[in-house]
């Protein structure tokens, strides 16, 4: 692995299959792996920011919009995730035909515009429509996995994903704190303006530095026949399906955690406005876990790390359920177990996505979008079920993470039985 950090990302200058100019990058662009990892982390992080920074503002948004039901403002989270899922599914064949760079930049522009308009929304319905557009825009950033897949494969890709997660996980440390701080000095509208500023910063970085990583020779014609062929390749790959489902179940557990964070931490355990600090502490541990994961992948491989992580995750979730059932779950124990589980989530998340795309280099864009859409849609439904089950206690959360963790572990065990590609 010596010298990997200094590897230069090479662009593919020339014309696309439709005759449009491709953004040119040469070795002189100087974009090494480290900067690419950070850029991918920033692209991935916009989704996290758009969710985490506004959690503390949900009650204020509900009051401002005079929503009848107390939980109606939470739809701003679900509708955002729905938009991201739809975008991720539709954009895959496009990026396999025209490249990664253009669609990612277009999505960032849409995200910024929708964020700028959100403070002007006169009612909840308009705000939900703008949040949906934000989701559509940020959904294209899921293609950052395809960007990494264009340059790396197998454990090398998993290591790059782990390093990007390490940087990405810094954002949940600061996003809830920023959101809480904004509410102290300004209204909820300022949170959306902050999203727009951060989105514009990432847009500028990507515009200047993001290379086109898909070689012209590897592009696929945009047609329904090619889309069907690409999806058929994915559907016939047991390894892809198994690890993709595992990632979906695990992401569902994360969405359930996000949906219940404010009520469980703030209400059930009485932290109130201090719950962002607990989230920040967990995210710090996750960031460290991502760094350790990148080193473990070098030593024992991505598949072993993913299996170990999910096994530990399920074991910790079982302890959490046992403590809750026996009514011996003080906040300190809950926090330690959840934080340890989120560290294992980080290990698994860094490996499952990379492993699901091991055999799919020729349809990486379609695969990334298909997996992104299926995982996001499935995880949104599963996470919403966990969130709607909240009854003033952590019951739905602790049982939800255990059940979904076990489903994820079963999926990778099934995937491990896949035959290697011919």
Q: For 289-340, how does the pLDDT look when each residue is reduced to its tens digit (9 = 90+)?
A: 877 887 888 788 878 888 899 999 999 999 999 999 999 999 999 999 999 9
For residue 204, what pLDDT is reported? 93
- Rounded-to-integer distance, Cα 159 and Cα 302, Å: 8
- Rounded-to-integer distance, Cα 84 and Cα 90, Å: 10
Structural domains of the chain, ranges and CATH numbers in brackets: 25-415 (1.20.1250.20)
CA atoms within 13 A on the CB side of 99: 26
CA atoms within 13 A on the CB side of 292: 14
Comparing CA positions, the residue from 376, 361, 378, 418 lying closest to residue 214 is 361
Residue pair 419/237 in contact by the 8 Å Cβ criterion: no
Q: What are phi and psi of 15, to 5 degrees?
A: -110, 150
State the greatest distance between any 2 C-alpha atoms of the chain, in Å, as a whole number: 66
Averages of pLDDT over runs of 10 residues in the chain (422 residues) are: 36 36 37 77 82 77 66 71 80 74 90 94 88 90 72 68 64 73 87 93 90 71 66 75 87 83 82 79 82 81 87 95 94 94 87 72 60 75 83 90 94 74 44
- Rounded-to-integer distance, Cα 77 and Cα 70, Å: 14
For residue 163, what pLDDT is reported? 66
Three-class SS of 232-246: HHHHCCHHHHHHHHH
- Rounded-to-integer distance, Cα 254 and Cα 404, Å: 10
For residue 326, what pLDDT is reported? 94
Sign of CA dihedral 393, 397, 403, 405: negative
For residue 223, what pLDDT is reported? 62
Residue pair 261/335 in contact by the 8 Å Cβ criterion: no
For residue 8, what pLDDT is reported? 36
Q: What angle do CA 385, 177, 125 make, to 5 degrees?
A: 50
C-alpha separations of 312 from 47, 149, 253, 299 in Å: 27, 27, 15, 19
For residue 364, what pLDDT is reported? 56
Comparing CA positions, the residue from 322, 316, 342, 186 lying closest to residue 254 is 342
For residue 54, what pLDDT is reported? 80
For residue 196, what pLDDT is reported? 94
Q: Report pLDDT digits (tens) over 158-206.
A: 667 666 666 566 666 677 778 878 888 888 899 999 999 999 999 999 8
Instruction: Look up the pTM and report it.
Output: 0.68
For residue 103, what pLDDT is reported? 86
- Rounded-to-integer distance, Cα 360 and Cα 211, Å: 21
């Amino acid at each position: 692995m010596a010298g990997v950090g200094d590897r230069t990302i090479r662009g593919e200058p020339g014309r696309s299959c439709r005759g449009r100019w491709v953004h040119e990058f040469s070795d002189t662009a100087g974009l090494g792996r480290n900067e690419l990892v950070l850029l991918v982390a920033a692209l991935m992080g916009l989704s996290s920011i758009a969710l985490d920074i506004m959690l503390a503002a949900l009650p204020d948004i509900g009051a401002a919009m005079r929503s009848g039901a107390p939980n109606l403002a939470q739809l701003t989270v679900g509708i955002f995730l729905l938009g991201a899922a739809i975008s991720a599914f539709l954009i895959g064949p496009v990026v396999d035909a025209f490249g990664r760079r253009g669609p990612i930049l277009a999505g960032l522009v849409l995200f910024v515009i929708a964020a700028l308009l959100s403070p002007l929304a006169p009612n909840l319905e308009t705000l939900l429509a703008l949040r949906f557009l934000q989701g559509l825009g940020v959904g294209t950033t899921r293609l950052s996995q395809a960007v990494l897949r264009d340059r790396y494969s197998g454990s090398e890709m998993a290591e790059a994903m782990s390093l990007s997660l390490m940087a990405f996980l810094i954002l949940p440390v600061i996003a809830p704190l920023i959101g809480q701080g904004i509410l102290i000095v300004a209204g909820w509208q300022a949170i959306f303006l902050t999203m727009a500023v951060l989105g514009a910063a990432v847009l500028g970085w990507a515009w200047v530095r993001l290379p086109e990583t898909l070689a012209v020779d590897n592009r696929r014609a945009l047609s329904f026949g090619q889309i069907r062929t690409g999806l058929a390749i994915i559907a016939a790959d047991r390894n892809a399906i198994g690890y993709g489902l595992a990632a979906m179940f695990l992401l569902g557990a994360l969405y359930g955690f996000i949906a219940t964070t404010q009520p469980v931490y703030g209400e059930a355990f009485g932290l109130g406005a201090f719950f962002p600090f607990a989230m920040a502490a967990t995210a710090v541990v996750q960031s460290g876990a991502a760094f350790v994961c990148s080193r473990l992948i070098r030593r024992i491989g991505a598949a072993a790390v993913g299996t170990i992580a999910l096994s530990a995750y399920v074991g910790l979730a079982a302890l959490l359920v046992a403590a809750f059932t026996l009514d011996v779950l003080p906040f300190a124990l809950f926090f330690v177990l959840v934080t340890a589980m989120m560290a294992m989530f980080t290990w698994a998340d860094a490996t499952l996505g990379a492993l699901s795309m091991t055999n799919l280099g020729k349809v990486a864009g379609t695969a990334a979008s298909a997996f992104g859409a299926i995982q996001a849609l499935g995880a949104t439904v599963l996470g919403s079920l966990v969130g709607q089950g909240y009854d003033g206690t952590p019951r739905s959360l602790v049982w939800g993470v255990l059940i979904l963790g076990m489903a994820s572990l079963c999926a990778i065990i099934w995937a491990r039985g896949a035959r290697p590609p011919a």
